[in-house]
Structure 1
Amino acid sequence: MIVTDMKSRIIEEIQEWKQKRNAILLAHNYQIPEIQDIADVLGDSLALARAAADTTADVIVFCGVHFMAETAAILSPEKTILLPDLDAGCSLADSITADQLRDWKAQHPGAVVVSYVNTSAEVKAESDYCCTSSNAVEIVNSIPDDQEILFLPDMFLGSFVKNETGRENMHIWMGECHVHAGIAPDHVEGVLEKHPEAELLIHPECGCSTSSMYLKSEGILPAEKTHILSTGNMLKRSKESEAEEFIVATEVGIIHQMEKQNPDKRFLAANPNAVCPFMKMITLEKVLAALKENKHVISVPEEIANQAKLSIDRMVAIG
């Protein structure tokens, strides 16, 4: 009871400070339940980027990880972007640097660079297009068929996009999100064995996504029940489907929203240990401190921001 009262007081104070500062709270689907529940906009990377670009708020409190706050700063340079915990990083974004990308581009002169949004501002500045898991296929399809493509940094998403588009001239960087990579085929198969009627909702970053595409094509996984989707589209599918059970292969934070939106349905984590420690760093207390103390302001140098914005604008416009 004491803990509940304290939490309620913190939430009330957050709302007061949001009004004082004309602030908006953006939160990713992987955040802890308390943060999801108070967010003004809750969504995947693409939805949050669009919200950051469109908001009339003076202050954006970004409850996500560092690259997301950087993207908001690039899209809305006139606004104050706050990241409540500076240690909220991303193992996937760390898997490639701007220098590594420049070297890769030198090996493939003239290639079009498509970077997943899970990258640093410096990498985005070296890219032609940004994408998210919800529009990566559409972005690659928008590029002429004879154009060589460098896709980075996630190898599982890259394999999914290459399979969906049939692009043979697409090179894939061998990076991964350690949380998603840890969701293996045997995790999915183990849960499916116990719940054969469940639908499979699989994020393309997962270590099981490549095998799932193959098993689906071979008829081993039921095609009508196997869906490889972004987090936003996972939520949409869970609401629209008539299925009563779902096996969810992504970071487990999304299950809170699924259960909240579909109280009569059951959601099972393919791997209950698929927890991103960076996404769980932001708490109600840190959000309040961010608003009261202006912690921590995220900005991007103007030259890098201007270059990166070109690729991000293309991402926001497609899909």
Structure 2
Amino acid sequence: MESLKEKILQLKKEKNAVILAHYYQQPEIQEIADYVGDSLGLSQEAKKVNADIIVFAGVHFMAETAKLLNPKKKVLLPDLEAGCSLAESCPPDIFKKFIDAHPHHIVITYVNCSAEIKALSHIVCTSSNAEKIVNSVPENIPIIFAPDKNLGNYINQKTGRKMLLWDGSCVVHEAFSLEKLIALYKEHPDAGIIAHPESENHILETASYIGSTSGMIDYVKRSPKTKFIVATEAGILYKMQEAVPDKILIPAPALEDNTCACSECAYMKLNTLRKVYDCLLHESPEIKVPKKIADKAIIPIQRMLELSK
């Protein structure tokens, strides 16, 4: 593995490439990345990149967003099959009909969606800035929020809005078992429960902190507590443990019986160190977005980045 890492670092140098990785990637990929972050951080970083090539160790919609922000750069995704159950829960043709049926609504979409969905939107948001983005819309203007109904429901509760929610969700964040979580908490009553807002409401109601992946890391760093049960994709535990080496982190249990007692995104884990090397070596698979879609999709992303400053 070490020699493969060295080869990647050498190739990266030769080709003037950067590796951007999401918190849910394998630890060995996070170790060689130039930047590791959540969707907002990665979007902001992608915009600042000076390299010729961006290797996006994440899922398809993230690499697509990087391409929209860097149309002249080559954007590579180690495995084209690295999709997203949430993004796939919102097919563009059906979503277009949904929008047409509610013509006076502003359309806010969570970044976890395809470029085609972004092209149908007024503003994009991430879990870090969703509340701020929704609050930027005057209260008398109705909002469609897609594709995540759990995040939308959480933001409705936080803002007092009654956004019209698309019925989409992330299979990983809907896999947590409340029954097992309560049993785990009984074993560790001194632990703080922290959760991602893509989780279902009954999980969020148990949490002492709800936030994005980067928000969760910041919270465990600041909190006086020394033990946490973490309800999000288990890949976050690597960077989180790095940030708080003296604290105990326990992954929240999923409904199915699994040996690690945690939920993992199968799509995120499709990327491997070998695939990172191969994609950089062959400069493939390359992410391309048709100009007609890209020209429309970039507008709501730029609006989000402006509002996030």
TM interval, shorter chain, is: over 0.9
Correspondent of 1:243 among 218, 222, 225 = 225
| % identical equivalent positions | 44
Count of aligned pairs between the two proteins: 301
Q: What is the rounded CA distance, in whole Å, between the counterparts of 1:72 and 1:203 in structure 2?
A: 23
CA contact (8 A) 1:96 1:153 kept: yes
CA contact (8 A) 1:184 1:206 kept: no
Q: CA RMSD in A?
A: 1.1
Per the alignment, residue 171 of structure 1 pairs with 164
CA contact (8 A) 1:188 1:249 kept: no
Answering whether residue 202 of structure 2 is matched by residue 211 of structure 1, we say yes
- CA positional deviation for 1:189: 1.7
Correspondent of 1:281 among 265, 270, 277 = 270
1:22-101 matched pairs, under 5 angstroms: 22-101=16-95
Answering whether residue 245 of structure 2 is matched by residue 263 of structure 1, we say yes
CA contact (8 A) 1:199 1:226 kept: yes
Which stretch of structure 1 is more off in the superposition, 252-261 or 133-142? Answer: 252-261
Regions of 4+ moved over 4 Å: none
Per the alignment, residue 4 of structure 1 pairs with none
CA contact (8 A) 2:109 2:146 kept: yes
Q: What is the rounded CA distance, in whole Å, between the counterparts of 1:127 and 1:186 in structure 2?
A: 38
Q: What is the rounded CA distance, in whole Å, between the counterparts of 2:134 and 2:183 in structure 1?
A: 34
Structure 2 unaligned blocks of 5 or more: 254-260
Name the aligned partner's letter for residue 269 of structure 1.
Answer: P
Q: What is the rounded CA distance, in whole Å, between the counterparts of 1:185 and 1:32 in structure 2?
A: 26
Answering whether residue 94 of structure 2 is matched by residue 112 of structure 1, we say no
Q: What is the rounded CA distance, in whole Å, between the counterparts of 1:88 and 1:240 in structure 2?
A: 33
- CA positional deviation for 1:212: 4.6
Q: Deviations over 1:185-227 (max 9, x none)?
A: 22332221111111111000012xx1255x4xxxxx5xxx700
Per the alignment, residue 200 of structure 1 pairs with 193
Answering whether residue 302 of structure 2 is matched by residue 309 of structure 1, we say no
Per the alignment, residue 226 of structure 1 pairs with 208
Q: What is the rounded CA distance, in whole Å, between the counterparts of 1:316 and 1:42 in structure 2?
A: 18
Q: What is the rounded CA distance, in whole Å, between the counterparts of 1:315 and 1:133 in structure 2?
A: 12
CA contact (8 A) 2:67 2:288 kept: yes
- Structure 1 SS opposite 2:262: coil
Per the alignment, residue 258 of structure 2 pairs with none
Name the aligned partner's letter for residue 245 of structure 1.
Answer: K
